């Protein structure tokens, strides 16, 4: 068993690596312009080029994937000549700084032809006051003469990028300022390396759509989806297994026909139709529960009334499918020779069902249930959109529409871990349901 688990964990690593490459290529080749998706359809070519450069999207695909996987700080350190460190401010923002002598933290900006260094210095902290101050002074000694006579300097700017300034270039750079729109300034950098630690070091990158670190948003969305999927799972799976076994025990009976037809009806109705139908009846007509799941800053469990309709929609959809699979598996087991032998020996009916039939009949439904855990987490996007539920599925949909590759990659890696993890759990569970199954 230990060797089997190690092999499956190795398979997780290979799968995540291959899937991450595939996602990068699919996003790159998909139609759409990420700059126009994020900033609007009426940006100028100059604004688009400036945005792509600042986000590092003008670099070759292979280099961008390497930066996403391993991080870009190593490459930036060789350019700047400084150790680059990431710190978290008191307000929870992440900032990159260059570490100089005596562990001094520095960042730079350009004012005309003057390099300005911004030094982060600690101060004696009073209650309610910041624990540092920023000291700014000229640092023109940083200019480096190139062979063609020009002067340049690599440093860390105040937008968390390693950049190269060229003296006297006067290059215009466009920046989008919230509330003010696009602002142009001169003396912009000639080259950008957006700083990140890389996925392998726990850095999911910054969302192109929101401008926030992906991990700040995706884990909240994951939590919300886990709550929704977990409640639906706890309700629907035991109920579907019990009803499926009841239907399969007496194949062809009225109970069997009624449960099979009802389950088929619920499983074939589209999710959005079921959701809208429930909103119409329970929210609009009866006014029993809210028709949307808009939490704001609250956690889902703080407004349980908003979870009723999304959970009920998922329950009806999943109930029919798992019920029919369980019914088919139970009916097949009840027709097997060893079950007939148990009845001929005079064993009580329910003892035969519970001790001999149930375990073998549950193997197929367990496989389906584990597969549907992945669907509940990533495939409930329609349910989340219908009810405005802020979950992982809706987050991935919005990210895909904007070609937000960092957010898509992070969500995909989470889904791969869930997929392989649930299948590993199912494989281990098989050994308890059927002692003949062993792994080596």
For 211, other C-beta atoms within 10 Å of its C-beta total 10
Nearest to 396 by CA among 209, 227, 230, 226: 209
Q: Alpha helices, DSSP H only, in 167-307?
A: 214-249, 254-268, 271-278
Write down the residue that tokens 């996007």 correspond to: 381
Query: Rounded to an integer, what distance in angstroms lies between the CA atom of residue 337 and that of residue 396?
Result: 49
CB-based contact 330:357 (threshold 8 Å): yes
The confidence score (pLDDT) of residue 198 equals 93
Average pLDDT over residues 244-260: 84
The confidence score (pLDDT) of residue 169 equals 67
The confidence score (pLDDT) of residue 151 equals 87
Domains and their CATH numbers in the chain: 41-203 (no CATH), 215-433 (1.10.3720.10)
Write down the residue that tokens 């994937």 correspond to: 65
Instruction: Enumerate residues 6+ apart whose C-beta is below 8 A from 241.
Output: 322, 326, 362, 365
Higher pLDDT, 316 or 428: 316
Predicted confidence band of residue 409 (pLDDT cuts 50, 70, 90): very high
Higher pLDDT, 279 or 435: 279
CB-based contact 126:118 (threshold 8 Å): no
The predicted-structure confidence for 99-123, as pLDDT tens digits, reads as follows: 988 889 999 988 888 889 999 988 7
The pTM (predicted TM-score) of the whole model is 0.81
The predicted-structure confidence for 308-356, as pLDDT tens digits, reads as follows: 898 888 888 878 878 888 888 888 888 888 888 888 788 888 788 777 7
Predicted confidence band of residue 183 (pLDDT cuts 50, 70, 90): low
Task: Tell me the β-bridge partners of 122.
Answer: 132
Q: Burial, 135: exposed, middle or buried (Cβ in 10 Å; 0-12, 13-18, 19+)? A: exposed
Length of the chain: 440
């Amino acid at each position: 068993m230990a060797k089997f688990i190690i092999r499956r964990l190795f398979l997780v690593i290979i799968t995540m690596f291959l899937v991450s490459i595939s996602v990068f290529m699919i996003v790159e080749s998909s139609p759409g312009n990420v700059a126009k998706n994020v900033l609007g359809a009426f940006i100028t070519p100059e604004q688009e080029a400036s945005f792509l450069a600042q986000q590092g999207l003008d670099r070759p695909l292979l280099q961008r994937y390497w930066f996403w996987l391993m991080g870009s700080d190593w490459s930036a350190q060789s350019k700047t000549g400084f150790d680059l460190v990431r710190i978290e401010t008191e307000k929870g923002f992440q900032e990159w700084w260059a570490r100089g002598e005596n562990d001094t933290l520095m960042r730079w900006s350009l004012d005309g032809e003057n390099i300005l260094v911004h030094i982060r210095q600690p101060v004696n902290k009073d209650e309610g006051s910041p624990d540092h101050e920023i000291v700014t002074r000229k640092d023109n000694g940083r200019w480096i003469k190139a062979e063609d006579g020009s002067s340049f300097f690599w440093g860390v700017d105040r937008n968390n990028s390693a950049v190269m300034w060229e003296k006297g270039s006067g290059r215009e750079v466009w920046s989008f300022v919230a509330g003010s729109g696009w602002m142009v300034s001169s003396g912009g950098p000639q080259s950008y390396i957006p700083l990140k630690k890389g996925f392998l070091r726990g850095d999911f990158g910054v969302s192109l759509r929101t401008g926030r670190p992906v991990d700040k948003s995706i884990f909240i969305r994951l939590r919300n989806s886990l709550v929704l999927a977990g409640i639906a799972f706890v309700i629907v799976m035991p109920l579907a297994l019990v009803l499926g076994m009841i239907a399969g025990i007496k194949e062809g009976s009225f109970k069997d026909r009624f449960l099979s037809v009802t389950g088929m009806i619920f499983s074939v109705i589209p999710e959005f139709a079921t959701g809208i139908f429930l909103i119409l009846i329970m929210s609009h007509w009866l006014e029993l529960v809210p028709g949307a799941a808009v939490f704001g800053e609250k956690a889902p469990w703080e407004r349980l009334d908003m979870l009723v309709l999304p959970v009920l929609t998922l329950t009806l959809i999943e109930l029919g499918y798992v019920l029919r699979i369980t019914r088919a598996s139970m009916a097949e087991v009840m027709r097997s020779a060893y079950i007939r032998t148990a009845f001929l020996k005079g064993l009580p009916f329910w003892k035969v069902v519970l001790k001999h039939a149930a375990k073998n009949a549950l193997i197929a439904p367990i496989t389906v249930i584990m597969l549907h855990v992945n669907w509940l987490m990533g495939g409930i996007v329609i349910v989340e959109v219908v009810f405005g539920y802020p979950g992982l599925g809706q987050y991935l949909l919005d990210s895909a529409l904007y070609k937000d590759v960092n957010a898509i990659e992070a969500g995909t890696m989470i889904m791969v871990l869930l997929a392989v993890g649930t299948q590993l759990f199912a494989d281990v569970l098989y050994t308890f349901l059927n002692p003949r199954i062993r792994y080596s």
